[in-house]
Amino acid sequence: MSAKIPAANPHVAAMSPYVPGEQPQGGGWVKLNTNENPYPPSLRSLEAIRVALLNDGAALRLYPSPDSAPLREAVARFHGFAAARVVAGNGSDDILNLIIRAYAGPGRPIGMLNPSYSLYPVLAAAQAAEVVKVEVTEQLSVDVDAIAQCGATVFFLTNPNAPLGVAFTPDVVRAVAKAFPGLLVVDEAYASFADADCVALARELPNVIVTRTLSKAHALAGLRVGYALCPAGVAEVLHRVRDSYNVDRLAQVAAAAALDDREWLDVTVAQVRATRERLAAALRKLGWQVNPAAGNFVLAAPVSSTRAASVETSAHCFEFLRARKILVRRFPHHRLTEKSLRISVGTEQETDVFLQAVAAWMEG
């Protein structure tokens, strides 16, 4: 009798996977589609990895700190936060998954802004949790009352918003937290590039979790490190549902070293912000419709003398750029993004190449 593979759980069989930005094969690409930092990470991170690999890498035969204690201490130093209220993860995506695993499920929906990070519904579907979407307003703001009344157990507020690029002020987020009767998760993947953050709210309010990643500002996307700043009691719950060794040894030491190198971070963030402003100004001068930008990317609707802003114009420009090995990203399924391209901030040279290609497209 041959073995028969059982069917997947019905809610898993019905779900669609997350679709990340294209990761091209081969060289020669200008990759402005996944919001990676265009600069190498702190040399302190590289040195920490080198030290960890001494003695022919013998330390790799040992498990890492199961709760990422040294890394959590570095996070605590960085934010002036209690280490006991920090949870580390395999990227902030891991943290988001832990939160949904712990607090959402059948009859316990999650809430999210629409548009925002498209991973949230995927993680919810894996837990058989429904998703309630609250629309971003036409003025690119949030409807506090709609969030408060959405019926979710956990609400994810991406700030700065991706893919829109706009940031909501701490006062607005505070109003949401006070009105919402569940856990408010402020996903601050891009907060280092903004003018303000909401870390203080995680210290003060009993229902606010702030999540961060080292993939963006700290240029460690390849190591997958993130963390949560939690209310009292939430950290202990998240530790129950995470993998025992969810952050590897090299990632822990590199991330801790990166967090301790504030000078590198300040210089790099300042450079990214300066290039972002140059890119946004150049596109506005060309007549493109550009959103306010608070992350390490710009959302802009392409136009030319012969093409108005539209879904078709966005698609045409996207394909024109891709044919020249320049990758950006489209989000054609929402009214606030369908006419636009999301362009990650690259180096000054990559920005020049992109703008030259845009000029060629506009002449065509």
Instruction: Assign 3 a pLDDT band (cuts: 50, 70, 90).
Output: confident
* Residues 163, 118: Cα–Cα separation, whole Å: 10
Long-range contacts of 14-23 (CB under 8 A, 24+ apart): 14/125, 15/122, 15/125, 15/126, 16/122, 16/125, 17/122, 18/118, 18/119, 18/122, 19/118, 21/327, 21/329, 22/327
Rounded to an integer, the average pLDDT of 337-355 is 98
Residue 345: how many CA atoms within 13 Å on its side-chain side? 29
State pLDDT tens for residues 47-89: 999 999 999 999 999 999 999 999 999 999 999 999 999 999 9
pLDDT higher than 90, residue 181: yes
Rounded to an integer, the average pLDDT of 197-212 is 97
Rounded to an integer, the average pLDDT of 125-147 is 97
Q: Which two structure tokens, joined as six digits, stand for 131? A: 């998703």
pLDDT higher than 90, residue 318: yes
The pLDDT value given to residue 4: 86
* Residues 244, 226: Cα–Cα separation, whole Å: 16
Q: Give which of 86, 94, 49, 82 is closest to 67, Cα–Cα.
A: 86
| Sole residue written with tokens 């493109």 | 288
Domain 43-260 CATH class label: alpha beta
Instruction: Assign 165 a pLDDT band (cuts: 50, 70, 90).
Output: very high
pTM: 0.96
pLDDT higher than 90, residue 2: no
State pLDDT tens for residues 6-41: 999 999 999 899 988 899 988 999 999 999 999 999
For the chain, report the end-to-end CA distance as a whole number of angstroms. 65
**SS3 per residue for the chain:** CCCCCCCCCHHHHCCCCCCCCCCCCCCCCEECCCCCCCCCCCHHHHHHHHHHCHHHHHHHHCCCCCCCHHHHHHHHHHHCCCHHHEEEECHHHHHHHHHHHHHCECCECEEEEECCCCHHHHHHHHCCCCEEEEECCCCCCCCHHHHHCCCCCEEEEECCCCCCCCCCCHHHHHHHHHHCCCEEEEECCCHHHCCCCCHHHHHHCCCEEEEEECCCCCCCCCCCCEEEECCCCHHHHHHHHCCCCCCCHHHHHHHHHHHHCHHHHHHHHHHHHHHHHHHHHHHHHCCCEECCCCCCEEEEECCCCCCCCCHHHHHHHHHHHHHCCEECEECCCCCCCCCCEEEECCCHHHHHHHHHHHHHHHHC
Domain 21-40+263-363 CATH class label: alpha beta
pLDDT higher than 80, residue 121: yes
Rounded to an integer, the average pLDDT of 274-299 is 98
Q: Are 27 and 206 in contact (CB under 8 A)?
A: no
The pLDDT value given to residue 279: 98
* Residues 119, 213: Cα–Cα separation, whole Å: 15
pLDDT higher than 80, residue 1: no
The pLDDT value given to residue 200: 97
Q: Which two structure tokens, joined as six digits, stand for 211? A: 């999540």
pLDDT higher than 70, residue 297: yes
Query: Per-domain residue ranges for the chain?
Result: 21-40+263-363, 43-260
The pLDDT value given to residue 349: 98
Average pLDDT, the chain: 97
Taking residue 294's Cβ as centre, other Cβ atoms within 10 Å add up to 22
* Residues 200, 194: Cα–Cα separation, whole Å: 15
pLDDT higher than 90, residue 364: no
In this prediction, what percent of the chain has a pLDDT beyond 70?
100
pLDDT higher than 90, residue 254: yes
